[in-house]
Every structure is written in structure tokens, then in C-alpha cells.
Structure 1
Amino acid sequence: MAAKPKLYYFDGRGRMESVRWLLAAAGVEFEEVLLQTAEELQDLIKGGKLMYQQVPMVEIDGMKMVQTRAILRYIAAKYNLYGKDLKEQLLIDMYVEGMRDLYDIIMLLPFALPEDQEKNLSIVAEKATQRFFPVYEKALKGHGENYLVGNQLSWADVHLLELILMVEECKSGVLSAFPKLQEFKARISKLPRIQKFLQPGSPRKLPMDAAGFEAIEKIFNLEKGLLVKHSGLILADL
């Protein structure tokens, strides 16, 4: 029996969360090595396990895989979540890459200055409803199928549900103008493997809180007051 994939990251969402989602959608059980100290990260680096000296890293099929998109593409292809031909794979890639633009903004929200938080949440909601969600609403309406690409579950569907839930955490009611996305959310959430992943006690991580941020500071030695500009948001390490 093949060993379970092993995920190396901190105890939080970050870039590993989409990997957790995709493995869950594929029905693949996995183990996690949750880093707690800077020394643990350095041990991985010194041991030559991290190609670019950074996580996430996933051990699977005898490989130590890094770079989130590469990991996700491998998992999607391995478990038949990457379309049936090159054209479908291209569509999946285009949809997912668009979602990543918004996903990365949301991922950086915990680093924002407190006084900018409400403004940043509004920016996320605006970008979602004006630029991104209309694309997926149109796609679902255009071909009349249950999924974004073809008529079977793909990486794009899994990532879209993950993104919708993250945007709803920022601002409720964002799907009010998107009936197809409302149907999509309800339908995909009821798939047995997804439904299981959404239940309390699953490997799905909660939004980052103050304690989670402190843990990340310890692991990655983040500098105080580091300003980051990302897609119009002014963000900072607290």
C-alpha cells in the first residue's frame, strides 16, 4: 500500500490550504508535519529537502515536491481532476490562475494594518463581484453544465468553492447577484468528499487569528513593520 502524502507547512491555511482541498476532493488521506519553530524549518533546509528553501513541500510518490502550482497540477492530473484533453486543461489553468490573483490578496489580509482592514475587505468584495465572479457565472450559464469545464469535477471547481467560501468570510452576501454560483456552491458542497472536508474536525484550517500570526512570526522570523503593496492593498506585518 502506497504511503500517504505528507504535507510540510505551518498550522494554518496559507498556500498549503488548496493542496488540502484538492487531496480531500480526490479522496486521498494525508499526513501533516506542522512546523512550530524556525529551527524545524532550518532542519528541512539543511537536510536538502526544500529546493528553494521554502515551504509548502509535499512528499508523494517518492518525490519531495515544492512550488504550490506544480504540486496542485500533479495532484489534479494524478487523480483525474485536470480535464480530458489539452483544451480542457488550458481552461482549467486559466480559471485557476484568475482565482489565484484574488486568493493571494485574501491570504495577505492578516498582514494588513488594523486601520486598513475594513477598506481591504471592501476591496476584496469589489474585485470578487466586479472582476472574477462574473467570469465563472458566465461560464456556468454558457454551457449549462454542473461544472466549470466539461461535465465532471475538476481542480477549477474545487478551487472555486474554496475561494467563494473565503470571500464570504470577508463579506457575506457576495453571491446575491450570481444565481449560478449560488447553485454551484450548494451542489459542490454536497459532494460526499467535499462535505466531509467541510465538517468540524477535518484537516481544513480556520482563518488566521492573532495566535496563528504569532506562530508564523516565530517560524519565518518576520520583521515588524514590513510594508507590502499587493494589488492596491497596503499590507503590513504586525
Structure 2
Amino acid sequence: MSNYKLYYFNGRGRAEISRLILAAAGVKYEDLRISDWPKTKSDAPLQQLPYIAIADLKLPQSLTIARYLAREYNLAGSNNLESAKADAIVDTCIDLMTSFYQKVFLISDMDAKEVALKKFLSDDAIKGLKNIEKLAREYGSKGYSVGNSLCWADLFIHEITYSLMTYQNDLLDGFEALRDIRQTVESNHNISEYLKNRPVTPF
């Protein structure tokens, strides 16, 4: 019997980092992908997704969930300082994600979205990736963004770069440290199996 029920839409989105953490830890859980959101919205503690049910507790907020799981399964860094370093990298990834959401995702006109995406990939994405790589080089070692073992910041880097590379496959050509981190993540047996079998979704 699984101890966790993770609720989100049928997409990677804000729940994927928690799915990756659980995959890395080899923890079984119920991956509940909501298709009747208006009808079940009242079940969510803040009427938003994702949230995770742990026994009788419902825990909201995607980063709160991910941080809890990372700490629970020793993927948050080996000490408090490493944990802070991982948080700093994740927050820098969030800055990049927020920029994409505001400058590209929210645009409804397809022609305008295409122009905005091209500008984003050549400007904001490069700046954001440089910031992430800078921290990873300072805080980590080859293949790891913090210290010398896998942590949730590595998983977050993998997810955000995966999403960006769906728009431009060679986006990481100038980012050796980020490419090494992706290789480390994908060489983990549990994550490799998860990535191989996860549903293909548009986001």
C-alpha cells in the first residue's frame, strides 16, 4: 500500500519534480492525474494543484512537497549548508521558469508566441542557464550541482532543461556542467526507468 497520493493534471508541470524525487528514491505512490478538475477542486486544500496526501494529511504547494520529499529521502544535501545551496539552485531554476511563463506561455496569439519564444530562447533562457551553471560549478562537482551526490537540485535542472530542449534541442551546447548533470540523472537506474515509462504530455 502506497503512503502517498500525488494529485496533479496529466502533465509534468509543477508536480514533476516530486515525481522525480520519488522515482529516484524508489518509493511507490499513487500518481493521480486529474481530468475532472472543476468537480474535484474543493478536495484540494487550497483549491489548486498539485497537492500530496500523506495518510490523512493533504499538503499543498509544489515546492513545499518537493522539499519535504527531498529531505525525507536524503536528496536535499548532506547538511544544512548543502541544503541551502540546493535551494538556491532550485530558486534560480524557478526564476527561469517564471520568466518563460510570463513572456511566452501566457501569450495566446500563436504568431506573437512564436516571436516571443524565439527571443526567449536566444536571450532569457541563455541568461538563466548561465546563472544555474555558475552556481552548479561553484557548489558541486562533475555531474552534480551540489557536493558529490545526487540531490533534488540535479533533478530540477534535468526537468527544466528537458522542457526547454523540447523547443531547441541544442540549447545546452555551451553548458558542459548542465549536460554532465543531465547525464548523471539519466544514469540513475530508478530515474532511467521512470523517464522511459512516464506518459508523454504537452507540458
TM over 0.5: yes
Alignment of 1:88 with 2:82, yes or no, is: yes
What is the aligned partner in structure 2 of residue 14 from structure 1?
Answer: 13
Q: 1:168 to 1:17 in 2, by over 3 A?
A: same
Residue identity over aligned pairs, in percent, reads 29
**Higher share in helix:** 2
Q: 1:38 to 1:85 in 2, by over 3 A?
A: closer
How big is the shift at 1:84?
Answer: 1.8
How big is the shift at 1:166?
Answer: 0.8
Bigger Cα Rg: 1
Counterpart CA distance in 1 for 2:21 and 2:129 is: 21
How big is the shift at 1:144?
Answer: 3.7
What is the aligned partner in structure 1 of residue 155 from structure 2?
Answer: 158
Give the 5 Å matches for 1:1-238: 3-42=2-41, 45=42, 49-106=43-100, 109=104, 111-112=106-107, 113-125=109-121, 126-130=123-127, 132-142=128-138, 144-199=141-196, 201-202=197-198, 204-208=199-203
Q: Deviations over 1:122-143 (max 9, x none)?
A: 243222212x222333344445
Counterpart CA distance in 2 for 1:35 and 1:180 is: 36
Matched letter for residue 134 of structure 2? K
Under a length normalisation based on structure 2, what TM-score does the superposition of the two structures give?
0.86
What is the aligned partner in structure 2 of residue 215 from structure 1?
Answer: none
Counterpart CA distance in 2 for 1:10 and 1:190 is: 27
Q: Deviations over 1:43-81 (max 9, x none)?
A: xx1xxx432222211112542110111111100000001
Counterpart CA distance in 2 for 1:170 and 1:9 is: 24
Stretch of structure 1 that moved more, 137-146 or 29-38:
137-146
Under a length normalisation based on structure 1, what TM-score does the superposition of the two structures give?
0.74
Counterpart CA distance in 2 for 1:193 and 1:83 is: 19
Kindly report the root-mean-square deviation, in angstroms, between the aligned alpha carbons of the 2 structures: 2.2
Counterpart CA distance in 1 for 2:6 and 2:136 is: 33
Q: 1:32 to 1:183 in 2, by over 3 A?
A: closer
Counterpart CA distance in 2 for 1:9 and 1:68 is: 10
Find the residue that maps to 1:170 and give its secondary structure.
Answer: coil
Give the number of aligned pairs: 199
Contact 1:102/1:124 (8 A) holds in 2: no
Structure 1 segments unaligned to the other structure (5+ residues): 209-238
Stretch of structure 1 that moved more, 94-103 or 57-66:
57-66
Structure 2 segments unaligned to the other structure (5+ residues): none
